[in-house]
Each structure stands twice: as structure tokens, then as C-alpha cells.
Amino acid sequence: MLAVKGVYDNGRIYFSENVKMSKPVSVIITFLEEHIEVPEKKFDLDKLSFRKTRELLKNCKGSLSDAVIEERRIEL
């Protein structure tokens, strides 16, 4: 086992020293600082109800799939 210090920044990990491995290896990443932001859960599948979903979509004209795809394109 090898321990290497580094810094996590904006989704990337930067090692404080060069590490060379001859093949892919499993790693364990431990965040040492106490403040870690956990994204807020936006959608809880446990609370999903088919009946409620149908009620919410009763006035929807067209395809829900098309509406979701269009919404995601706009967000990009």
C-alpha cells in the first residue's frame, strides 16, 4: 500500500508527488478537512406516487420525454 498526499479541487485530485503505476489500481480517497458540502437531494424516489404523477401530468400536452429532453438542452 502507498499513501500520497494531495489536494482535491473542483472535481480533480492533484497529487503532491509523482505516482507511477504499471496498471490501474484501486484507491481510497479520504477528505481530511471537516467541511464537506453534500449536494442536496432533489428527488426522492421513495415519495414517488404513480397516481400523483398522473395528476401532475393531466394537463401536459405532448410527450413528457420530449419536454424533459428540451428542458435539459436549455440548461446546457
Give the integer Cα–Cα distance in Å for 37 and 39.
6
- In the chain, what are the helix, strand and coil shares in percent, each to the nearest 5? 30, 10, 60
Give the integer Cα–Cα distance in Å for 42 and 26.
30
The answer to whether 31 and 8 are in contact (CB under 8 A) is: yes
Mean pLDDT of 33-40: 71
For residue 30, name the pLDDT band (cuts at 50, 70, 90).
confident
Strand partners, 8: 13
Taking 90 as the threshold, does the pLDDT of residue 33 lie above it?
no
Residue 47 has a pLDDT of 77
pTM of the full structure: 0.38
Taking 90 as the threshold, does the pLDDT of residue 1 lie above it?
no
For residue 50, name the pLDDT band (cuts at 50, 70, 90).
confident
Residue 22 has a pLDDT of 92
Q: Could you tell me the residue ranges of all domains in the chain?
A: 6-33+45-75
